[in-house]
Amino acid sequence: MNWPGVPELVVIAIIILLLFGGNKLKDVMKSFGEGLREFRKATSEPLDDIQKSIEAEPDQNAQASDQNNLTEEEETQGPPG
């Protein structure tokens, strides 16, 4: 699919300006920007959550191995007493 060139975009912009008018066009573009911002935020949040869980996973594994090492040392030393 070919993207429209500059002349086609100019014609589209003029038609939109005629349909909505200057003041209404400003409101429409503001709403479009807010919607786009919300869409990007909604699509990036799951990726951020996945990245955080990947970064936290090695820390959890290190803590678990430290706990396992402590219990093994306690078993070899016997009960405190």
Q: For the residues of 13-74, what is the DSSP string, one character each? A: HHHHHHHH-HHHHHHHHHHHHHHHHHHHHHHHHHHHHHHHHHHHHHHHHHHHHHHHHHHHHH
Task: Give pLDDT, residue 35.
Answer: 94
- The helix-helix angle for 6-20 and 22-77 (nearest 10°) equals 110
Task: Give pLDDT, residue 47.
Answer: 83
Task: Give pLDDT, residue 27.
Answer: 87
Task: Give pLDDT, residue 70.
Answer: 55
Task: Give pLDDT, residue 37.
Answer: 93
Task: Give pLDDT, residue 48.
Answer: 82
For 21-79, how does the pLDDT look when each residue is reduced to its tens digit (9 = 90+)?
888 888 888 998 999 999 998 888 888 888 888 887 766 655 655 565 555 555 556 55
CA count, 13 A, side-chain hemisphere, 68: 6
Tokens of 9: 């975009």
